[in-house]
Amino acid sequence: MGQYLEQYTQSLHNPDEFWATAAKTIDWNKPWDKVLDASKAPNYHWFPGAQLNTCYNAIDRHVANGRANQAALIYDSPVSNTKKTYSYQELLDEVSRLAGVLLELGVSKGDRVLIYMPMIPEGVMAMLACARIGAIHSVVFGGFAANELATRIDDAKPKVIMSASCGLEGSRVIKYKPLLDNAIELSTHKPAHSLVLQRPQAVASMQEGRDVDWSSAVEKASPADCVSVAATDPLYILYTSGTTGQPKGVVRDNGGHAVAMMWTMKYLYNIQPGEVFWAASDIGWVVGHSYICYGPLLNGSTTLIYEGKPVGTPDPGAFWRVISEHKVASLFTAPTALRAIRKEDPNCDYIKKYDMSCMRALFLAGERCDPDTLFWAQDKLQVPVVDHWWQTETGWAIAANCLGLEQFPVKAGSPTKPTPGYDVQFLDEAGQPVATGEMGAIAIKLPLPPGTFPSLWQNEERFFSSYLETFPGYYETGDAGYQDEDGYVYIMGRTDDVINVAGHRLSTGAMEEVIAAHPDVAECAVIGVADKLKGQAPMGFAVLQSGTNRDTEVIVNELIALVREKIGPVAAFKMATIVNRLPKTRSGKILRGTMRSMADGTEHKVPATIDDITILGEIADDLKALGYPKSV
């Protein structure tokens, strides 16, 4: 039996022993009464009775154990021309004084603090400062629209908001403070204070009595000690979009989260203490929480905060420069970043400028990785490329090629096998398992492993109805896919991206794979639109590679012929258009649902940013040219 199968089997058949062993890597102030509390199933809790402090485990213990002078955090900002490295001792000094500021502003254990920050070290420091005193942080992506921010303020009811005067998006300066002021005006709940970090690119006006200058406050503050919290106490709330338009506050606990993060750093990412791990994400997303802030620091590794883009800051070699300069062992990014690089530099000429010998692996997540992008990355980087699948709700990978256990052969389109702790099942509409190779709704048999969400913030009813009701005894992922005869998992898209064309259930993800393989296509999306005759019909949108000057009508006809050839006439793929860009969430996911609603002429949510609204306006024009929306 290989190491993977051994650990996977034990994690499902003897989870108490498996996770008790994993928990030995964490420093506890008080041991647990039991590993798993199943007394209130389907609400499960890990390590009840135990006490710890996540910030202590992420910083203090490394200082005490000889890593005081090791780099903890590297900040690299091509947009502000800044580079800075913080040792574990320096990070401890900064975080403990920032925690002292929060105490002086009246924040105590259990209070919420909302963090609205750009990609700068102070964003991570803010998260750790909250964890240090037992406050619950809720990070909102910096630059999010005021109304989106207001809904999160009203739901979390923060005592304090931590923000900066501005963020830098390429060459643009985004002023955060007016957005924050507007959000507070819109919200019913009013925070007592806003702690504002003034950045030289845009100095914000301050409201007397409410707004506090970050730098001055930290300078005068006394360092705060770590506060012991229950393993089951919330560490953070992270809002994810909900179908009702009201965001869902995913809760992460302290104990299970710390254990899971440590386990993944060693066994999934194969990262040792002292090595540099770079998650090219944002602290506003779950990847940033798990693998910019907590995972690497809990592991005693070095994390990297990058304030820039994969292209344009200044060129498509930006990522390769960072990896080479800071000796990054592994990079974690989204496929969309690779597609942006490939679009600008298809032959990857920029990589030749840098010594990439330090890099051992590339990890991809956030969206399904099309085979064409996977093969391109493998060819250009010559390291294992790991497409792994997870969600905001789970906090870490559901399926992956666990490089710290054993490395399996890569199969294009698959994130490999279920990760230890996850009992992944493929079910039909009646909740029964489908045959190997058949498409089904992906559900995970309860209990979910440590580090996943125990609930939604103050909304148990919605937690149950959104995730546990459809398939009793299972967590409904909302994704659809299948498992092959070797146990490899294939994620073919969201459940509502599986379209029904004249009675045939077809994956839009499979069609996207075919279109993405066309040499002129940089990225694409396929949606199912309402059709009077067939129920639904697929419609494709493609963005072309930079420099492509062929006739777009010829390319469209080639795409239609390709899908017909690879998937068959059953797909009824007859509609495609070339677009300048695709609308995306800030984390890089294409807004397929919004595009589908526009095509069908049904109500859709207005996006959070001006850029998205502009792009959707362009998409609306393209839909009109195809005759949509139409009455069905």
Segment 564-580, tens digit of pLDDT: 887 767 678 889 999 98
Distance CA 527, CA 515 (A): 13
Q: Range with the lowest mean pLDDT among 182-186, 216-220, 386-390, 608-612?
A: 608-612
Q: Answer whether residue 632 shows pLDDT above 50.
A: no
Q: What is the pLDDT of residues 72-88, one digit of tens each?
A: 999 999 999 999 999 99
Which among 138, 544, 73 has a CA at the least distance from the CA of 343? Answer: 544
Q: Per-residue pLDDT averaged across 574-596, rounded?
A: 82
- If you search the block for the tokens 């750009």, which residue do you land on? 118
Asked if 613 contacts 581 with a C-beta cutoff of 8 angstroms, the reply is: no
**pLDDT score at 429:** 87
**pLDDT score at 367:** 76
Q: Answer whether residue 92 shows pLDDT above 80.
A: yes
Distance CA 405, CA 401 (A): 9
pLDDT-based confidence at 511, cuts 50/70/90?
A: confident
Distance CA 237, CA 114 (A): 9
End-to-end CA distance of the chain: 56
Q: What is the pLDDT of residues 132-190, one digit of tens each?
A: 999 999 999 887 788 889 999 999 999 999 999 999 988 889 999 999 999 999 999 99
Give the 3-state DSSP-derived string for 619-630, with helices as H, strands as E and coil as C.
HHHHHHHCCCCC
Q: Per-residue pLDDT averaged across 344-348, rounded?
A: 93
Q: Per-residue pLDDT averaged across 414-426, rounded?
A: 97
Asked if 102 contacts 111 with a C-beta cutoff of 8 angstroms, the reply is: no
Alpha-helix runs per DSSP H in 234-305: 255-267, 286-288, 295-298
* Residue 107 or 598, more confident: 107
Q: Which residues have CB under 8 Å from 111's CB, separation 6+?
A: 135, 136, 158, 159, 160
Q: Residue 332: which H helix or E strand, with range?
A: strand 328-333
Q: Answer whether residue 484 shows pLDDT above 70.
A: yes
Q: Range with the lowest mean pLDDT among 4-8, 123-127, 205-209, 494-498?
A: 494-498
Domain boundaries, given as residue ranges, for the chain: 3-308+388-481, 504-625
Asked if 616 contacts 256 with a C-beta cutoff of 8 angstroms, the reply is: no
Q: Is the dihedral of CA 235, 295, 263, 280 positive or negative?
A: positive
Distance CA 489, CA 492 (A): 10
Q: Range with the lowest mean pLDDT among 83-97, 322-336, 471-485, 593-607?
A: 593-607
Report the residue count for the chain: 632
Instruction: Decide: residue 334, CB within 10 A, 0-12 exposed, 13-18 middle, 19+ buried.
Output: buried
The CATH homologous superfamily to which domain 3-308+388-481 belongs is: ANL, N-terminal domain (3.40.50.12780)
**pLDDT score at 498:** 65
**pLDDT score at 531:** 78
Q: Answer whether residue 606 shows pLDDT above 80.
A: no
**pLDDT score at 143:** 78
Check residue 550 and report its DSSP letter. Answer: S
Q: 504-625 adopts what CATH topology?
A: GMP Synthetase; Chain A, domain 3 (3.30.300)
Which among 122, 130, 42, 116 has a CA at the least distance from the CA of 77? Answer: 122
Buried b (16+ CB within 10 A) or exposed e, 398-429: bbbbbbbbeebebbbbbbbbbbbbbbbbbbee
Q: What is the pLDDT of residues 536-549, one digit of tens each?
A: 888 999 999 988 99
DSSP character string of 401-447: --TTT-PPPP-TT---EEPTT-EEEEE-TTSPBPPTT--EEEEEESS
Q: Range with the lowest mean pLDDT among 62-66, 94-98, 133-137, 605-609?
A: 605-609
Check residue 228 and give left, alpha or beta (phi > 0: left; psi -120 to 50: alpha): beta
Q: Per-residue pLDDT averaged across 396-405, rounded?
A: 98
Give the 3-state DSSP-derived string for 377-391, with helices as H, strands as E and coil as C.
HHHHHCCCEEECECC
Q: Residue 126: which H helix or E strand, with range?
A: helix 121-132
Q: Per-residue pLDDT averaged across 18-45, rounded?
A: 97
pLDDT-based confidence at 615, cuts 50/70/90?
A: confident
Q: Answer whether residue 382 shows pLDDT above 90.
A: yes
Asked if 361 contacts 386 with a C-beta cutoff of 8 angstroms, the reply is: yes
**pLDDT score at 504:** 59
Give the 3-state DSSP-derived string for 6-31, with helices as H, strands as E and coil as C.
HHHHHHHHCHHHHHHHHHHHCCCCEC
Give the chain's mean pLDDT. 92
**pLDDT score at 522:** 92
**pLDDT score at 117:** 97
| Beta pairing partners, 578 | 542
